[in-house]
Structure 1
């Protein structure tokens, strides 16, 4: 491989692999933090009226792997001294499979944990989701492989 091509390819792979590993680490940390320290709540899977889904025979968003969840936050005391709860619509963070599981069909009730400071950050409770380890390992291996190939290409350019 020519030097400019190897340098460019190596740099791109290093950037891609490094960014993917950082993203994996941050996402895993966020999910872990929310499950441990988030506010527990009960959410309902709601129908997502996606106009683009009609083209694929899915006008209600049932094929979307990340379901739209509706839940209420804990009441906060406002300036008037009255407690106000907020209703939130959000999609859960983390692992979603290729097809939506039957337990996440519209109308289903699931346990979630959300961030009290940013209620739109939500994850399914550990009891509601299947293990995400295979997916996490896949993305980490992909990032590590890209980083290793990029470093190998750069090293081959530097040693020539």
Structure 2
């Protein structure tokens, strides 16, 4: 392999692997934090009219968000009604949408009270997220190592 091609290939692979590992770590941390500190609730899977949305493996969820707690001056939650949120859960990446996410099905989730559109499936609903996270991490590590190996071979 030409030295320039090997150097560029090694740089691209190492960069891709490093970014993929950082992204995996950030997603796992975010989902873990939302599951620990988030507000648990039950969402309903919504039927989608958009053809592109039907192809997405993550279901479209609808749930009500409770109003924020009253502020120090007594204003805040008084007189407010709950908002309806439509969002897709983070970290759900199977190739096809499972049958258990049919429209109208209730699903347990946790959402971030500061950003309700940031929702994750509850632990029992999540399925094999650890396996998927591990596979993405292995792919990132393999790309990083292959890139580093190519760069080391060019340096000799």
Q: TM-score, normalised by structure 2?
A: 0.90
The alignment status of 1:132 with 2:139, answered yes or no, reads no
The alignment status of 1:65 with 2:62, answered yes or no, reads no
Give the C-alpha shift of residue 158 in structure 1: 1.1
The alignment status of 1:45 with 2:45, answered yes or no, reads yes
Q: Structure 1 residues 79 and 136 mapped into 2: Cα distance closer, same or farther (>3 Å)?
A: closer
Distance 1:52 1:128 in 2: 24
SS state of the match for residue 41, structure 2? strand
Q: Structure 1 residues 124 and 79 mapped into 2: Cα distance closer, same or farther (>3 Å)?
A: closer
Distance 2:141 2:15 in 1: 11
**Matched-pair contact (CA < 8 Å) for 1:95–1:135:** no
Runs of 4+ in structure 1 off by over 6 angstroms are none
Give the C-alpha shift of residue 111 in structure 1: 0.8
Q: 1:98 aligns with which of 70, 84, 95?
A: 95
- The equivalent residue for 2:78 is 81
Distance 2:102 2:62 in 1: 13
State the Cα RMSD in Å.
1.7
Q: Structure 1 residues 7 and 25 mapped into 2: Cα distance closer, same or farther (>3 Å)?
A: same
Q: Structure 1 residues 106 and 129 mapped into 2: Cα distance closer, same or farther (>3 Å)?
A: same
Cα shift readout 1:64-101 (whole Å, capped 9, x = no counterpart): 31000000111235658323321100000013322212
SS state of the match for residue 49, structure 2? coil
- The equivalent residue for 1:58 is none
Aligned residues: 151
Alignment gaps of 5+ in structure 2: none
Q: TM-score, normalised by structure 1?
A: 0.87
- The equivalent residue for 1:57 is none
Alignment gaps of 5+ in structure 1: 54-60
Which shifted more, 110-119 or 92-101?
92-101
Give the C-alpha shift of residue 42 in structure 1: 1.0
Cα shift readout 1:25-71 (whole Å, capped 9, x = no counterpart): 00111111111111111100001111447xxxxxxx2x531000000
